[in-house]
Structure 1
Amino acid sequence: MEVHYRIRKPIRLEARFRIAGFTVLLGESGVGKTTLLKALAGLLPAEGHPFSGLPPERRPVGYLPQDLALFPHMTAWENVAFPLKGRNRKERALALLERVGLLEHAHKRPGQLSGGQKQRVALARALARKPELLLLDEPTSALDPLTRGQVLSELVDLLRREGLPALAVSHDPVLAGMADWLAVLGRKGVLQEGPLEEVMAAPARVEVARLLGYENLFPVRVVEGGVEREGVRLRLPLPPWAKPGGEAWLGIRATEVLVVRQDRPPPPENVLEGRLERLHLEGLAYRGLFRGPLSLEILLPRHVQERLRLQPDQPLRVALKPRYLHLMPGEAEE
């Protein structure tokens, strides 16, 4: 499904992108993600396609707002039955709850349900309209951080089983990492889109890299066979647009900064020597700061740290393998 919308109020925005399977539109706060979603649902005036000119009630979409908009005084099945017309509303609502795995909770009110369960009630209510497209506004915002990953995985798996195209807008890289198709929205429109793996592996602009969670971003000068930053030369394959003497941005994920073990020979290139300034537990990994010719955030899986037993203020060597170095045009920064 191709989307092309022009919006004048409450902000000026023109966005053109594809929806393919579970699609995430990633962007920071204030760029117009929710505005675009409401325009697609027919809740704000806009020009474009699909659904051009149709009133909200005639658009074949299911819309899940951030707060899910469940009626607190109604049970789960009553919430799902609310948009249904005709006979056997309760039976049809129960069947929808069964599809989303919540039949046993049909008689509970929203206050008795977890965040993930409320999300599935809202999904069942949206499915009652037999939509051609599902719209989700910041679906991670109301979820417990400890269960967010599991709840999102279940939601995305359910949408794929239903075969229902969905567009989720979010600023959350965790949700973006579950997409089939990823589009990145900036203040002037869509900056980049494509299959998840392609966009994650090769952000086209530094603004995109920041949104995707690249912790290490540096302006660099292009040299023969690589780049230079503050006297440090790093070798990497140069894309066709990168010419010696030009300016660019270099991105390195914290997980892609490799610690060189003392008992093994270092890689042949891009090895930096310095010290480990800090190290602390973060979830199931250890986050640290390497201070050397470059300052780099590093992220070590717990099992790696348990083997290396690194300590703050110890000498450290790190390697930046060329395949983990991502180069972006210098004019990407705004």
Structure 2
Amino acid sequence: MEIRYTLEHPVRLEIALEVQGFTVLLGESGVGKSSLLKALAGLLPARGQPFEGLRAEQRPVGYLPQHFALFPHLTALENVAFPLAHLPPARRRAKALEFLERMGIPSLAPRYPRQLSGGQQQRVALARALAREPQLLLLDEPTSALDVATREEVFSEVLSSLRDLGIPTLAASHDPWLAQQADRVAVLSPQGLIQQGSSTEVFAHPVDLNTARLVGFRNFLRGVVEGLEGENAWIVCNGVQLRARRPGWARVGQAVVACVRSDEVIVVRPDRRPELPVQDNILSGILLSLKPEGLGLRGRFSGPVELDLLLPRHVQERLGLEVGRALEVSLKPQYLHLVPGVRPELNA
């Protein structure tokens, strides 16, 4: 489904995006994600297609607000039945129960919202949104009210149910985890929509520095393109030459930022050192810091450049890394992603 909308308030936004399967509109707070969803639902004035000119109650849209907005005085079943008032009572009840079953929670039918967990409330709210039998489903920050364990366990199941239904779904979120689950990601910034594509494409190949930060890159090395040949680009960062995959826009002498994910900075095993091509992005330095993070360890490498590392615990167990120890790291060219250079203050 193609969406083209223009909003004037509360933010000025002109956007054209494609919703395919489960699509996440990813961006920081204040860029207009929630406003776009409200405009599509008919809750904010806007111009565009689809649904322009239709009142909110006429739009074939299921809308799940950020905090679910369940009626506290109605049971789960009654909440889901609310948009089905046009049906006879018996049919209305049966239909509402059907949507609770689709969400895997028919046993919660007699409970009130106060008796439900956050994940259960979300499923009831989704069942209510689906009861409208929408052409488009809108989810506003669907993981914001869920803790990490609930998010990954519960919402993964919800997402599976939504895919089975085949309803185009647009979720507004600032959560990179949710965007990684998407079929398609659209990145919204204060300047407008700056990138859209498959989740893999956006996470592996962000178009600029801000998008790279948004999708989880933590290492940004400012440099200049020194040479181009075939699929390769050679850049110089702080006096060190690095090889990267050549982007189509790169030109010799151009300022660039080399972006590297923390978990794609590879600590070189001394026993495997001879097997690696010396010319390909091997950096020597010391380990400045190392601390546990979940089941992994986050560290800081200092050499010709400084790098943030995220290591699985088996690497630490095998290498016995310690703070202050000399080590080598490798930046594989395929994981060294180049974006156009920016003003120094934006790369701080």
User: What's the TM-score, normalizing by structure 2?
Assistant: 0.92
Structure-2 change in CA distance of 1:93 and 1:32 (3 Å): same
Mapped to 2, the partners of 1:319 and 1:147 lie a distance apart of: 36
- 2:304 maps to 1:296: no
Q: Check whether the contact 1:27–1:211 (CA below 8 A) recurs between aligned residues.
A: yes
1:178-219 deviation digits (Å, cap 9, x = unpaired):
010110001121100011111111111111111101111122
Q: CA deviation at 1:94?
A: 1.2
Matched AA of 1:236:
A
Q: CA deviation at 1:331?
A: 4.9
State the secondary structure of the residue aligned to 2:272. coil
Q: Would you say how many aligned residue pairs link Structure 1 and Structure 2?
A: 334
Aligned to 1:54: 54
Alignment of 1:23-34 (within 5 A): 23-34=23-34
Q: Check whether the contact 1:16–1:189 (CA below 8 A) recurs between aligned residues.
A: no
Mapped to 1, the partners of 2:302 and 2:296 lie a distance apart of: 19
Matched AA of 1:257:
V
User: What's the TM-score, normalizing by structure 1?
Assistant: 0.96
Aligned to 2:168: 165
Of 320, 326, 329 in structure 2, the residue corresponding to residue 315 of structure 1 is: 326
Matched AA of 2:181:
M
Q: CA deviation at 1:156?
A: 1.2
Mapped to 2, the partners of 1:152 and 1:301 lie a distance apart of: 26
State the secondary structure of the residue aligned to 2:273. coil
Alignment of 1:170-319 (within 5 A): 170-224=173-227, 225-265=233-273, 267-268=276-277, 269-319=280-330
Mapped to 2, the partners of 1:326 and 1:112 lie a distance apart of: 48
Between the aligned residues of both structures, percent identity stands at 56
Aligned to 2:230: none
Q: CA deviation at 1:306?
A: 2.7
State the secondary structure of the residue aligned to 2:164. helix
Mapped to 1, the partners of 2:314 and 2:13 lie a distance apart of: 46
Q: Check whether the contact 2:245–2:336 (CA below 8 A) recurs between aligned residues.
A: no
Aligned to 1:45: 45
RMSD: 1.5
Unaligned runs of 5+ in 2: 228-232
Aligned to 1:133: 136
Give structure 1 regions of 4+ aligned residues with deviation exceeding 4 angstroms.
331-334
Unaligned runs of 5+ in 1: none
